[in-house]
Structure 1
Amino acid sequence: MSSDQTWKTKYFQELETAEQREAQWKSERNVLERMLVRTSLASAGQTPELDSLLDQIRSDLRKNRVGVESWRQLQEQIDRQIALLDEVATSEVRSVQQSPCVAPLIVAEPADERVDEGDQPEPVVDAEDQSQRLRIARRVGHLLGQLLSQVSLEPDAEARARNLQRALLSSDDWDELREGLNQVADLIVAAVTRSQREFEAFLKRLDERLAVLQEHFSVQSSAQSGREAAAEKLDRSIRNEIEQVGQQLKASGDLQELKQSVSSHLESIGQAVGRFRVEETEREKMLSEQLMAMKEKMVVMETHSEQMRGQMRKERERAVTDLLTQLPNREAWQERLSFEFNRWKRYQYPLTVGVLDVDLFKRVNDSYGHKAGDRVLQLVAKEIKQRLRKTDFVARFGGEEFALLFPETLPENAQVVLDKLRAHVSALPFHFGGDPVMITFSGGIAGFGPDDTEETVFDRADKALYLAKDSGRNCIRIG
Structure 2
Amino acid sequence: MASDQSWKEKYLQALESSDSREEQWQTERNTLERMLVRTSLASEGQSRELDLLLARVRKDLRKKTVDVEAWRELQEQIDRQVALLDEHTEAKQAQASSAPSRDSLNSNAEVAPVASIPGDDRDLADNSGRLRIAQRVGQLLGQLLDQVSLDSVAEARARELQRVLLSSDDWNELREGLNYVAELVITAVNRSRGEFEAFLKRLDERLALLHEHFAEQSTAQMDRLSASETLDQEIREGMARIGADVRDSEDLTQLKASVSRHLSSIGDAVGRFRDKETDREKVMSDQLRAMQEKIAVMEANSEQLQSEVRRERERAMTDLLTQLPNREAWQERLSFEFNRWQRYQNELTIGLLDIDLFKRINDGYGHKAGDRVLQLISRELKASLRTTDYVARYGGEEFVLMFPETGPDAALVAMEKLRQRISKLPFHFSGEPVSVTFSAGLAAFRRGDSEEAVFERADRALYLAKDSGRNRINIEDEDASQ
Q: Same fold (TM over 0.5)?
A: yes
Which sits farther off after the overlay, 257-266 or 303-312?
A: 257-266
Cα distance, 1:350–1:306 mapped onto 2, change above 3 Å: same
Structure 2 distance, partners of 1:457, 1:297, is 53
Distance 2:168 2:367 in 1: 17
Matched residue SS, 2:74: helix
Q: Quick check: 241-250 or 223-232, which moved more? A: 241-250
SS at match of 1:44: coil
Alignment partners' CA distance in 1, 2:420 and 2:442: 17
In structure 2, give the amino acid aligned to 1:54.
L
**In the alignment, what sits opposite 1:72?**
72
Q: Which residue of 1 aligns with 2:182?
A: 185
Given that residues 365 and 373 in structure 1 are in contact (C-alpha distance below 8 angstroms), is that contact kept between their aligned partners in structure 2?
A: yes
Amino acid at match of 1:85: L
Specify every segment of 5 or more residues in structure 1 that has no aligned partner in the other structure, as ranges. Answer: 105-122
Return the alpha-carbon distance in structure 2 between the equivalents of residues 194 and 478 of structure 1.
44
SS at match of 1:452: coil
Judge conservation of contact 1:444–1:463 (CA < 8 Å) in 2. Answer: yes
Check the 8 A contact 2:20/2:313 in 1, yes or no: no
Tell me the residue number matched to 1:44: 44
CA separation of 1:139 and 1:346: change in aligned 2, threshold 3 A: same
**AA in 1 matched with 2:79:** D
Bigger mean CA deviation after superposition, 240-249 or 172-181: 172-181
Structure 1 residue 136: Cα displacement: 3.3
Question: Is the contact between residue 17 and residue 309 of structure 2 (CA under 8 Å) also seen in structure 1?
Answer: no
Q: Which shifted more, 438-447 or 256-265? A: 256-265
SS in 2 for 1:301: helix
Is residue 443–residue 457 contact of structure 2 (8 Å, CA) maintained in 1?
yes
| 1:9 aligned residue | 9
Give the drift of 1:99: 4.0
- 2:326 is aligned to 329
Kindly tell me: are residues 337 and 54 of structure 1, through their superposed partners in 2, closer, same or farther at Cα, counting changes over 3 Å?
Answer: same
- What amino acid sits opposite 1:63 in the alignment? K
Give a deviation string over 1:114-140, Cα, whole Å, max 9, x none.
xxxxxxxxx9x9555444434433443
* Counterparts in 2 of 1:246 and 1:4: CA distance versus 1, 3 Å: same
TM-superposition CA deviations, 1:30-82 (whole Å, max 9, x none)? 22222222332333333333233223212221222321122122211211111
Residue 444 of structure 1: which of 441, 452, 463 is its match? 441
Q: Provide the residue aligned with 1:299 in structure 2.
A: 296
Work out whether residues 96 and 102 of structure 1, in 8 Å CA contact, stay in contact via their aligned partners in 2: no
The one-letter code matched in structure 2 to 1:241 is G
Alignment of 1:362-401 (within 5 A): 362-401=359-398
Contact 1:325 1:377 survives alignment (8 Å): yes
For residue 445 of structure 1, what is the amino acid of its counterpart? L
1:224 Cα deviation from its structure 2 partner: 0.7
1:60 paired residue number = 60
The aligned runs of 1:317-356 (5 Å cut-off) are 317-356=314-353
Three-state SS of the structure 2 residue aligned to 1:450 is coil
The corresponding residue for 2:285 is 288
C-alpha contact (below 8 Å) 1:415/1:476 kept by paired residues: yes
Structure-1 residue corresponding to 2:30: 30
Distance in 2 (alpha carbons) for counterparts of 1:462 and 1:149: 26
Three-state SS of the structure 1 residue aligned to 2:406 is coil
CA distance in 2, matches of 1:345, 1:70: 45
Matching residue of 2:117: none
2-structure distance, mates of 1:78, 1:358: 35
Query: Secondary structure of the equivalent of 2:272?
Result: helix
Q: CA deviation at 1:330?
A: 1.4
Counterpart for residue 420 of structure 2: 423
Equivalence for 1:214: 211
Task: Write the letter of the residue equivalent to 1:18.
Answer: S
The CA distance in 1 between the partners of 2:225 and 2:154, in whole Å, is 60
Q: Give the corresponding residue for 2:81.
A: 81
* Partner Cα separation in structure 1 for residue 157 and residue 473 of structure 2: 46
Measured in 2, the distance between the counterparts of 1:223 and 1:210 equals 20
Identity of aligned residues (%): 65
Q: What secondary structure sits across from 1:321 in the alignment? A: coil
Which string of whole-angstrom CA distances, capped at 9 and with x for unpartnered residues, describes residues 130-171 of structure 1? 444344334433433433343233444334334434443454
C-alpha distance in 2 between matches for 1:313 and 1:394: 21
2:242 to 241, 245, 256: 245
Match of 2:91 in 1: 91
Counterpart AA for 2:44: A
Q: 1:140 aligns with which of 137, 140, 155?
A: 137
Superposed displacement of residue 263, structure 1: 2.3
Distance 1:95 1:392 in 2: 61
- Residues 85-123 of structure 1 show CA distances to partners (whole Å, capped at 9, x for unaligned) of 11221222233334458569xxxxxxxxxxxxxxxxxx9
Contact 1:329 1:397 in 2 (8 A): yes
- The CA deviation at 1:307 is 1.5
Measure how far apart 1:172 and its partner are: 4.3
Residue equivalent to 2:114: none
Q: Secondary structure at the match of 2:425?
A: coil
Partners of 1:389 and 1:160 in 2: how far apart?
A: 42
Contact 2:384 2:418 in 1 (8 A): yes
Question: Cα distance, 1:177 vs. partner?
Answer: 2.3
Answer whether contact 2:441 2:474 (CA < 8 A) is retained: yes
Which deviates the most, 216-225 or 268-277?
A: 268-277
Cα displacement (A) at 1:392: 0.8
Letter in 2 for 1:421: L
Mean alpha-carbon deviation: is it higher for 462-471 or for 162-171?
162-171
1: distance between equivalents of 2:407 and 2:168? 52
Q: Report the counterpart of residue 117 of structure 1 in structure 2.
A: none
- 1:190-213 per-residue CA deviation (whole Å, 9 max, x = no partner) reads 121122222222222222222222
SS at match of 2:250: coil
The DSSP-based 3-state class of the residue aligned with 1:324 is: coil
Q: What displacement does 1:235 show?
A: 0.6
Which amino acid is the alignment partner of residue 296 of structure 2? V
* Partner Cα separation in structure 1 for residue 160 and residue 133 of structure 2: 17
Contact 1:17–1:305 at 8 Å: present in 2 too? no
Find the counterpart in structure 2 of residue 113 from structure 1.
none
* Structure 2 counterpart of 1:179, one-letter code: E
SS at match of 1:52: helix
1:43–1:275: structure 2 CA closer, same or farther, 3 Å change rule? same
Summarize deviations over 1:431-468 as a string: whole Å, max 9, x none: 12222122111221111111111122112222222232
| TM-score where L is the length of structure 1 | 0.89
| 5+ residue gaps, structure 2 | 105-119, 477-482
- State the distance in 2 between where 1:267 and 1:342 align: 78
Could you state the TM-score of these two structures normalised by the residue count of structure 2?
0.89
Paired AA for residue 31 in structure 2: V
When structure 1 is superposed on structure 2, of 431-440 and 29-38 the one drifting more is 29-38
Matching residue of 1:409: 406
Do 1:443 and 1:465's aligned partners in 2 also have CA atoms closer than 8 Å?
A: yes
For 1:78-157, list aligned pairs within 5 A: 78-100=78-100, 126=123, 129-157=126-154
Taking the aligned partners of 2:286 and 2:77, their CA distance within structure 1 comes to 64
